[in-house]
A and B are shown apart, each in its own frame.
Chain A
Amino acid sequence: MTSNWLLENMAMQSITHTSDDTIDRIGANKIAARAVSLRRFIEAISHRR
């Protein structure tokens, strides 16, 4: 964990539950990357022995 992350988390919190929580605050590429890595993680734990 980094102190940057804590600051970023506070910035995130400041828009949640408000009309500022809009699509332009989202990095679609980040979501796609997370989904791809989750799939790889699931595949990895599915085939461990």
Chain B
Amino acid sequence: MTLHEHTSDRRNLEWVNAALKRLTVDIHDRCVGSENNQAATTGFETQLEDNGWSTETRRFYAVDRQGGDARLEARDGTAFEVRASPYSPGCTATGRLKAVSTIEGLEKADAVGALLLLHGDVAREPLMPKNFPFFAVEDHQRIIAGLEGSGAAAIITTTAPGSVTAGGAYPAPMIEDGDFNMPSVYMTQKEGECLLRFNGRQLTLNSNCRRIQSKAANIVGRINEGAAKRIVIAAHIDAKKDVPGALDNGTGVATLLLLSSLLTDYAGDFCIELVALNGEDRYAVPGQLARVTANRGGFDTVALNINIDGVGYIDGDTAYSFFNLPDDMKELASARLLGTPGTVEGIQWPQGDHSSLFNQDVQPSP
């Protein structure tokens, strides 16, 4: 290693550490629509401009939320530990408990005015939001329709641990959807088993969750803007509420910020776009939708899309997943990306923001 390379390595490390600290310690909660989320996007924009990139801010409306305390109590004073589902309306509701464990049972249930408990198979995984723009799960749509047609006063869900789509959070909300307007709360599977013994009895549910109208933004940085084709490198800058979001996805944003420094003197054939997307960990992925809308009719100018998420986990390799790469590009990717220590080719995993351009016939990687 030359002295120049050693100095560069040290500088790169300092850059990454500073970016991670700023995003995950100083700012911390980057939930879409929050003030901290806006601080994160503003800071990203400033850093790109400081490195000589032109920037564009694309704002959109987003719903933030407050509260989340909830209480469920039977007439005999027995209380159950519940949490308000994120983005649920708050409520004060008294009704008999009606438990259902299958979609068919839900569709046939007499639940008008009831507190509807979803457990077992019908509650095996979190629901895709009802208006998710990129794909729909038929069973989930049936459950949502069944709930909305049930006449229930409120919904209680018990989701089993280990759902892939819930990440590591437990208990995980089965419903996290600002477009779904029935009050709902969630609890552990164990607490749900205790609650089942009260099926048919009167309970009262109070929840103080409320929605707040807000705004958020995607930030796009560009260099070599006159080029006909572009390489887009994106990472989502938001995180779940009240979590640091270091791996998911402070790391992706830190990678973009370091690239903004490393590519300052880029003089190749492409326009390079660095994009901080807002809303991958968000029910209706508003930033991804805004990005697709802003690029409608222009996706044919994207030569390559690279999405970065969850890179740099301390105990593991980095996986690159390739989608529809031309042979020559795949060959270069194998040499330049997989040819470095600590990397591995991963499975194709078109999920969340990983698929928003895949659906537009653009080639995302990794």
Contact = CB atoms under 8 A, between A and B. Distances in A.
Contact of B13 (A21, A32, A43, A47): A32
Interface in A1-36: 1-2, 4-5, 8-9, 11-36
B312 A31 contact: yes
A25 B311 contact: no
Contacts of B3: none
Nearest to B254: A31
B270 A26 contact: no
B263 A39 contact: yes
A2 B258 CA distance: 28
Nearest to B306: A38
A23 B258 contact: no
Contacts of B333: 41
A14 B16 CA distance: 24
A26 B316 contact: no
A1 B312 contact: no
Q: Is the interface of B mostly helix, strand, loop or mixed?
A: mixed
Q: Is the interface of A mostly helix, strand, loop or mixed?
A: helix
B48 interface: no
Contacts of A17: 166-169, 240, 243, 248, 281
A20 B169 CA distance: 10
B17 interface: yes
B168 A27 contact: no
Interface stretch (B63-71, B87-95, B102-110, B341-349): B341-349
Given A9-B319, A32-B16, A26 B247 contact: yes
A36 B244 CA distance: 25
A23 B24 contact: yes
Contact of B342 (A30, A39, A48): A30
Interface string B281-310: 100000000000000000000011010101
Nearest to A47: B268
Contact of A30 (B240, B312, B345): B312
B9 A23 contact: no
A32 to B, nearest CB: 4
Given A21-B168, A24-B314, A34-B311, 13 more contacts: A1-B347, A8-B313, A8-B315, A17-B167, A23-B25, A25-B313, A31-B251, A31-B254, A31-B258, A44-B332, A45-B231, A46-B269, A47-B269
Closest 4 CB pairs of A and B: A46-B268, A8-B316, A17-B167, A16-B167
Interface of B: 9, 12-13, 15-17, 20-21, 24-25, 164, 166-169, 231, 233, 239-240, 242-248, 250-251, 254-255, 258-259, 262-263, 266, 268-270, 272, 281, 303-304, 306, 308, 310-319, 328-329, 332-333, 335-337, 340-347
22 contacts: A2-B317, A4-B316, A8-B313, A11-B315, A14-B167, A15-B247, A17-B167, A17-B240, A18-B169, A21-B244, A23-B20, A26-B20, A26-B246, A26-B314, A28-B254, A30-B312, A31-B16, A32-B12, A35-B16, A38-B337, A42-B270, A46-B231
